[in-house]
Chain A
Amino acid sequence: MIITTTKGDIDESLLSKREGSIDNENEYTTWIEYWLDDELVHRSAHVSLKKSPFTDLIGATLG
């Protein structure tokens, strides 16, 4: 697979791949990095929001 990097398009086999994730009540996030030697050349992230973090409550009062 070809990866778009800061050095141009490079075959994935030539890169070092690192992945990670964050999972909490608000989001599930994954990220992927590709390194060429000791240089970060690609990083993408995907944040999935699980729910709205807030609800605005409207109370109705007459009188």
Chain B
Amino acid sequence: MANTQSMCTSFLGELLSATHNFSSANPAHTASTPDTFKAALYLASATLNASTTAYSATGEVTGTGYSAGGVTITNGTNPASTNSSATAGVGYWTPSASITYTGVTLTTAFDTMLMYNSSQSNKAVAVYTFGSQTITSGNFTLTMPSNTTTTALVRLSTT
């Protein structure tokens, strides 16, 4: 069993129904505030992948200082988009701050973060994997990549 990093397939379909709102300026939603997105950690033995449709506590890390469901992602920058050619472009978004789990003890190896929308029935967005870690009376920090067309954490590109 292993986790596989991928954008969740259900997320792609849900984008077309305006289920997810990453922006503070989205006319498809009556509220002018973005949805709340969260980051949960999963054991290396879990099986998250493109078929994951929503947050589940199955396979999630447990330990001192960690709350089930993880932590809220800071969203201070609206999604952006740009054309890369006359027929292609990219939309992109990245959390505006690092994701930090402070003062935790997670003794069973974990290697995955699930980003999900806690405002919309915990629907899954994407699965991110990294080198396996444990934490003992310490902090775990995930620093985000630069918010650019080529490195942003969430990118949707036409060909």
Contacts and interface: CB of A to CB of B under 8 A. Distances in A.
Contacts of A46: 139-141, 143
Given A6-B105, A51-B151, A45 B145 contact: no
Given A6-B105, A41-B136, A52 B155 contact: yes
* Interface bracket on A: 20 to 34
* Interface bracket on B: 35 or more
A57 B159 contact: yes
Contacts, number: 95
Interface string B113-135: 00000000000001011110111
Given A45-B135, A46-B140, A55-B90, 8 more contacts: A6-B137, A33-B136, A42-B136, A44-B140, A45-B141, A47-B130, A52-B155, A53-B129
Given A52-B152, A57-B158, A27 B5 contact: no
Q: Give the secondary structure class of B's interface.
A: strand
Interface of B: 5-7, 12, 90, 103, 105, 126, 128-131, 133-145, 150-159
A1 B90 CA distance: 46
Interface of A: 4-6, 22, 26-27, 29, 31-33, 40-60
